[in-house]
Every structure is written in structure tokens, then in C-alpha cells.
Amino acid sequence: MYLKDSKIIVIKIGSSLLIDENKKIRKKWLSEFAKDIRDLLKQNKKVIIVSSGAIAIGCKKLNLNKKNLKLDKSQAVASIGQIELMNLFSETFVKSKINISQILLTLEDTEQRRRALNAKRTFDNLFQLGFVPIVNENDSIATTEIKYGDNDRLAARVAQMIDADLLILLSDVDGLYDKNPFKHKDAKKINEIFKINKTIEQMANTQTSSLGSGGMVTKIAAAKICMNNGCDTIITHSEKTYPLSSISQNNSSIFFANKNPSSSRKQWLLNHLHSSGFIRIDEGASKAVKNNKSLLPAGVVEVGGNFNRGDVISVYFTKKEKIAIGISAYDINEAKKIIGKKSKEIPNILGYEGRDEIIHKDDLVKII
């Protein structure tokens, strides 16, 4: 029922869903999952899968115990398991006539805006080509993701990056409980959460998974990121038949987001990123900004600072009147060359086909 109104959905798969406690691949589960994905695609929904499992599958291939691995060994095992993991997805999804691609990311890729924008454009192009991107943490070279189990948070950052409507965290638990359900038979599940406070965070402290490196704590952290960005989050038990189509209140917890994405984006831009430079615009461009339009180079009269493409810059109407803040599509040197020019002149000036706007309306926030 929660999937019906969602247009862009990010789904995170935990290691324990791909490989069981006996180190056997859950091929039947993955096949049913693929059929659920196929049904979502038929409804014209855009789907991204964020998958754990490279280390777990690598351990299976090498007959190693995951719990005894040191960090550097984990990285090597991840490199081996990564190929096995994508082969598994490819063999399974082709049977449901689903085209897949692979994108390797780390948290650093999503938190640096320039790299995040590049990744977003890749996702958009893959959607246009009819492919389902499968995102894996690049844990053959990264360290934090392996050590702290940030794949849940990585999924949240991906959801934030592409302005998803819904994040689904598939796990071996069916949601958030007031205490550890594996130890306490009287534990009660919290079906709906509208705000994450200290009480909610304390409930997550003792819930763990045997094969994945994250537990409920990282899932709550992921939900918090999404809630602040206008994206709902579902944590659900997914060892059941057809894990997506069978989602209900009985087998999940849902975290309801602030359904005002522009407000969330404004808060994110203003409170979490520092301006690397500025542009000053004319009266016509000022009116365009106030009317939620993109900022074109023709309306820019001055640029300053030391910014790169993807950096946050301030927008001034006069030298003292700051009216907006946004993410630049060009670096300072490129911006200097195209200010006051028409968008159609950009290719001849810069020598390549760039964006029509210096700041796209989706990356621009008014502050007056």
C-alpha cells in the first residue's frame, strides 16, 4: 500500500537476505524479489537497489568466517565477492527481463556535492535507458563502510541525492521494537514513527543482524536522513515470499517524512553547506529567481570567489542584498567566460556542451 504513490524508490538489501546462516545463496528469495521489481517497473516507477553482500559472498567463496576478518582482509574479500554478487543479480534479473547496471559509491561520493551531482545525472540517464541501477559500496578500497556498516546510510544518501519518495530497508527484522525481540518475547513493534527522538534511538541500540555489519542503529540513522529530505522510510522483514508486494503494517515500520521537499532542501542547503563564492545578477534575473526559475548566464553581471562545479555559491541582486543560494553548474573560470551571454553561446565559448543555466532551479533556494 505504501508503494502505490511513490514514483522513485530506493531499496536496500542486507547481506542476510542474500546469504543464509549456512552460507547458502537465497536464490529463490532473490528470484521473487526480481519479480516484484519487474512489477514496479511496469507501473512506471523508477527503482534503485542498494545492496550489501560483497564481503559475505566473498567469504562463502573462500570459506572464511566474516567475523574473524581484519579490515585489510575484508577489503580483499570484498573485491572477490563483488564480481560474484553482480553475477548473481545478472543471472537472476535477466529471467525477469530486467536490465541492470552497477554503480560503486562511498559516502564520500554522496556528501561531496560535485560528485553527487555527477552521480545523479548518471542515475537519471540510466532511468531514461530503462535500466535498474544496483549500487554497491566500494568497500574494496573504502574503510569506514566496512567497519561501521554504513550501507543503510549510503542508501539514504542515494535517496536524498535523487529526491526519492520512498526508501525501503529490507532486513531480517520486521521493523523497530521497543526492545530486542530476539531476547524479549513481550517486545512490541512500533508501526508508525513521525519523529526520531532519543527514545526511538534508544530502542534501536540492541537490535542486530548476524551477517550484515549494520544493525537497527544504522537503519534509524538512514530513516532520519530521509525524513529530513521529504522521503518516507520503511523497515521491513523480507525473508517472506515476494518481499515488496507483501509489505504491510504487520511486517514493517514506516517512518513518515516531512512532505515539503522544498523546505527540507532549503534547510539542507542553508545549514549544511558553506558558500564557496558568489554571483551578482541583474533585475531580470532577480525576478526569475523570485519566480522559482533557473538562473541563466545572461542575467549574471559579476562572479567571485573560488568555486568549482557542484559547489554552493551565494546569489546577490545588489552587492549587499543576498537573495538566494544554490549549486553552481560551472567553476569560477567558466562562469567568468559566460556571464552576460546567451545559453546557446556556451558551447562555442567553452568548447563543450554545458548546462543552459548557471544554477538550475532544482539547485536554487531563495532566502528572502
Question: pTM surpassing 0.85?
Answer: no
Do the Cβ atoms of 15 and 210 come closer than 8 Å?
no
88 in a structural domain: yes
- If asked whether residues 184 and 284 sit together in one domain, one would say no
Among residues 217, 241, 264, the one where a domain terminates is: 264
- Angle of helix 71-93 relative to helix 27-42, nearest 10 degrees? 60
- If asked whether residues 297 and 247 sit together in one domain, one would say no
Residue ranges of the chain whose pLDDT lies below 70: 1-2, 107-108, 111-113, 139-150, 206-214, 259-274, 368
269 in a structural domain: no
Count: domains in the chain: 2
Unique residue bearing C-alpha cell 554552493: 312
* Positions of E strands within 228-356: 232-237, 252-255, 277-281, 300-305, 312-316, 322-327
CATH label of the domain that carries residue 319 = 2.30.130.10
63 in a structural domain: yes
Instruction: Note the pLDDT tens digit of each residue in 42-79.
Output: 999 999 999 988 888 888 888 887 777 777 788 888 88
- If asked whether residues 111 and 43 sit together in one domain, one would say yes
What element of type H or E holds 13? strand 8-13
- If asked whether residues 61 and 158 sit together in one domain, one would say yes
Compute the distance between CA of residue 43 and CA of residue 37 in angstroms, rounded to an integer: 10
Instruction: Note the pLDDT tens digit of each residue in 104-128.
Output: 987 667 766 678 888 999 999 999 9
- If asked whether residues 220 and 137 sit together in one domain, one would say yes
Distance of CA 105 to the CA centre of its chain: 10
- If asked whether residues 284 and 232 sit together in one domain, one would say no
Distance of CA 11 to the CA centre of its chain: 10
H helices of the chain, in order, are 15-18, 27-42, 54-62, 71-93, 107-111, 113-128, 144-148, 151-161, 198-204, 216-227, 261-272, 283-290, 332-338, 346-350
- If asked whether residues 298 and 223 sit together in one domain, one would say no
**What pLDDT is recorded for position 286?**
94
Among residues 264, 291, 308, the one where a domain terminates is: 264
Compute the distance between CA of residue 235 and CA of residue 245 in angstroms, rounded to an integer: 14
State phi, psi for 270 to the nearest 5 degrees: -75, -30
- If asked whether residues 308 and 351 sit together in one domain, one would say yes
Compute the distance between CA of residue 268 and CA of residue 277 in angstroms, rounded to an integer: 18
- If asked whether residues 245 and 309 sit together in one domain, one would say no
120 in a structural domain: yes
**What pLDDT is recorded for position 304?**
96
CATH label of the domain that carries residue 83 = 3.40.1160.10
Cα distance from N-terminal residue to C-terminal residue, the chain: 39
Q: Could you say which DSSP state residue 26 is in? A: -
Residue 320 belongs to what domain range?
274-366
- If asked whether residues 252 and 292 sit together in one domain, one would say no
Question: Computed from CA positions of residues 257, 260, 264, 267, in that sequence, does the dihedral angle turn out positive or negative?
Answer: negative
